[in-house]
């Protein structure tokens, strides 16, 4: 199943194609898809096929086509804090994307039939947490996987806000799947050759919507044990987070949040009105610091635009007789910036600088983006072991 969109050269181009074909329609789903490289879930020798809109299978490992995952993610209507159950969780690719949306207070469970696939999923999850910059850009709900047949879940098990089944569901198991949902929950599953969205509107009422035609391998029928009774597959345990874990989540959340101060600017968070003016580094100090920082950028930049010239900040106009002096400082800095800009060599249309610079080696490559959260944590006045804990012991 797949082939609905053209192949991409990389993950971003694949997502662009899915957006253009209207498989990805929401910004939240787009961010999750861009954050995780699909090729990371392929075996190394098959990575060249990762950006095609095709399903992939090798032994027990399986990934659905990107267009299918797109429709599933859109249909699930995910929100932070919800509980999610993935039946046939496979490599963990979908569960990891879902975890980026659910956030740290969601629930993210998966049931997979094959032991080797669960091991593979945990390997990929560990690799994502330790090496991907996306882990620091999102608040993540880490998935938990168990081995077993999803048709052997006890009927008294808890219910979920969102459920997805990654195998073709026979009609006789439709009610079994529905009973895994809370009221108001959404179930997405392949049913009678159609990807179907079922919403539980009441204790015994449902709304059903057919999405697209699909072809999935059918669910594996449960095997009976010696006594003639089916096995029971317990779902993952819901564990209450420790105070230490909650503290880590809160600290990372605080450090991750920029405080809006207007276009392209940020300011320090304050705990109560007027606190910033009372700080020993009050508005006068911050305005001068901003201007000095901007002046250094003027010196180091190749091209400056008039729109980048600093202007007076509305929230800095505190009484105290410093406004006129500050305006004089700003005007002087602006004049200095303009002089620097006029003295800088003009840049070519392709952004490569002057002809002399091109002849000496062409355009300088842009430096890789800085992981701001990591840098903030490393600058905290804390013992190294505590910093590493806040970083989830990530290697980079």
Task: Give domain limits for the chain.
Answer: 67-225, 242-256+378-395
> pTM for this structure?
0.73
Q: Which residues are catalytic?
A: 64
Alpha helices in the chain (DSSP H): 11-20, 27-35, 66-76, 93-102, 115-131, 134-137, 174-178, 243-256, 275-278, 283-300, 323-343, 355-359, 372-378, 384-390
CA distance 196 to 209: 6
pLDDT at 258: 73
Which pLDDT score is estimated for 265? 52
From the number of C-beta atoms within 10 Å of its C-beta (0-12, 13-18, 19+), residue 65 rates as buried
> What is the domain class of 67-225 according to CATH?
alpha beta
- CB-based contact 94:72 (threshold 8 Å): yes
Q: What is the pLDDT of residues 366-394, one digit of tens each?
A: 566 788 898 999 999 999 999 999 999 88
> What integer pLDDT is reported at residue 276 of this predicted model?
43
pLDDT value at residue 30: 97
Question: Residue 138: its pLDDT value, please?
Answer: 94
**Segments in the chain below pLDDT 70:** 1-4, 225-230, 259-368, 396
Q: What is the pLDDT of residue 363?
A: 52
Q: What is the pLDDT of residue 260?
A: 45
């Amino acid at each position: 199943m797949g082939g609905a969109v053209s192949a991409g050269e990389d993950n971003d181009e694949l997502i662009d194609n899915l957006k253009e074909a209207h498989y990805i329609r929401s910004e939240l789903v787009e961010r999750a898809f861009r954050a995780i490289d699909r090729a990371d879930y392929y075996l190394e020798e098959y990575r060249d096929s990762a950006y095609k809109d095709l399903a992939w299978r090798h032994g027990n490992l399986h990934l659905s086509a990107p267009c299918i995952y797109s429709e599933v993610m859109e249909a699930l209507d995910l929100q932070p804090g919800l509980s999610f159950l993935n039946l046939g969780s496979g490599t963990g690719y979908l569960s990891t994307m879902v975890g980026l949306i659910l956030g740290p207070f969601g629930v993210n469970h998966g049931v997979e039939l094959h032991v080797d696939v669960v091991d593979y999923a945990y390997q990929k999850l560990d690799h994502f947490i330790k090496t991907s910059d996306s882990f620091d850009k999102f608040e993540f709900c880490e998935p938990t996987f168990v081995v077993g047949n999803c048709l052997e879940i006890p009927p008294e098990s808890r219910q979920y806000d969102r459920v997805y089944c990654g195998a073709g569901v026979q009609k006789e198991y439709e009610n079994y799947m529905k009973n895994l949902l809370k009221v108001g929950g959404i179930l997405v599953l392949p049913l009678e050759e159609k990807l179907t969205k079922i919403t539980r509107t009441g204790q015994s009422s449902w709304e059903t919507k057919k999405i697209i035609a699909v072809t999935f391998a059918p669910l594996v029928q449960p095997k009976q044990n010696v006594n003639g009774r089916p096995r029971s597959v317990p779902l993952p345990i819901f564990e209450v987070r420790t105070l230490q874990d909650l503290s880590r989540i809160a600290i990372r959340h605080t450090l991750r949040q920029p405080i809006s101060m207007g276009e392209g600017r940020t300011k320090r968070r304050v705990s109560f009105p007027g606190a910033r003016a009372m700080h020993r580094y009050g508005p006068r100090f911050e305005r001068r610091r901003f201007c000095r920082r901007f002046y250094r950028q003027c010196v180091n930049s190749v091209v400056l635009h008039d729109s980048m010239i600093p202007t007076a900040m509305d929230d800095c106009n505190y009484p105290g007789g410093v406004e006129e002096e500050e305006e004089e400082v700003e005007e002087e800095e602006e004049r200095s910036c303009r002089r620097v800009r006029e003295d800088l060599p003009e840049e070519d249309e392709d952004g490569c600088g002057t002809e002399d610079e091109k002849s000496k080696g062409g355009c300088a490559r842009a430096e890789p983006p800085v992981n701001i959260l990591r840098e903030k944590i490393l600058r905290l006045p804390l013992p190294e072991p505590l910093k590493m804990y806040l970083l989830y012991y990530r290697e980079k």
